């Protein structure tokens, strides 16, 4: 792969606005990155899981597991936004821009990307946990009703 300049802002934007696709890893490391494939497959499982849950009225354990994989893939993208955005420019350039004369200079856009990733990621994580616990407790109440009758 040709050694081209990798912008920290582009990486943060890709991982923020296209979460779960792994395109930020494809941009950074090319087709040889295993994280690109893992995140993309996780996202595909998540999409399938949502459809499976819709068809089975939230009764499919496999659907819940696949949806959780999709959520993990999306949350990993937003975590990557934070990890790479907070990395010092010199360290980022030393890892991804070896031999380049052009250097990254972080600015407010990267800070704004990280703030959005933190807000949205925390909201999605808390929402996912709330839905999972709600479904668990609904199942427990229904099981208790069956036992009492």
CA 5 remoteness from chain centre: 24
Could you tell me if 52 and 63 are in contact, meaning their C-beta atoms sit under 8 angstroms apart? yes
pLDDT at 59: 84
**In the predicted model, what is the mean pLDDT of residues 95-122?**
92
User: Taking the chain, what is the end-to-end CA distance rounded to the nearest angstrom?
Assistant: 67
Say if residue 1's pLDDT is above 70: no
pLDDT of residue 58: 83
The predicted pLDDT at position 149 comes to 79
pLDDT tens string 5-23: 999 999 999 999 999 999 9
Q: Residue 64 and residue 66: Cα distance in Å, rounded?
A: 6
What pLDDT does 3 receive? Answer: 79
- Longest C-alpha distance within the chain, in Å? 75
Taking residues 122-128, report their average pLDDT.
Answer: 94
Instruction: Identify whether the C-beta of residue 71 lies closer than 8 Å to the C-beta of residue 128.
Output: yes
pLDDT recorded at residue 71:
93
Whether the predicted pLDDT of 2 surpasses 80? no
pLDDT of residue 148: 85
Q: What is the pTM of this model?
A: 0.85
CA-wise closest residue to 124 among 9, 11, 19, 15: 19
DSSP 8-class letter at 19:
T
CB-based contacts of 10, cutoff 8 Å, min separation 6: 27
Model pLDDT for residues 42-99, shown as the tens digit of each residue: 999 999 999 999 999 888 889 999 999 999 999 999 999 999 999 999 999 999 998 8
pLDDT band at 36 (very low <50, low <70, confident <90, very high): very high
């Amino acid at each position: 792969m040709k050694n081209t300049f990798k912008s920290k802002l582009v990486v943060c934007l890709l991982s923020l606005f296209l979460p779960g696709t792994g395109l930020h890893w494809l941009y950074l490391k090319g087709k040889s990155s295993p994280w690109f494939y893992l995140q993309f497959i996780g996202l595909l499982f998540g999409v399938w899981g949502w459809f499976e849950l819709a068809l089975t009225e939230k009764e499919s354990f496999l659907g819940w597991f696949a949806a959780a994989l999709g959520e993990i893939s999306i949350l990993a993208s937003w975590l990557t936004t934070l990890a790479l955005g907070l990395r010092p420019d010199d360290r980022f350039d030393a890892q991804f821009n070896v031999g380049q004369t052009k250097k990254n200079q972080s600015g407010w856009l990267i800070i704004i990307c990280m703030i959005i990733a933190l807000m949205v990621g925390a909201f999605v994580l808390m929402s996912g946990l709330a839905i999972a616990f709600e479904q668990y407790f609904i199942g427990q109440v229904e099981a208790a009703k069956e036992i009492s009758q």
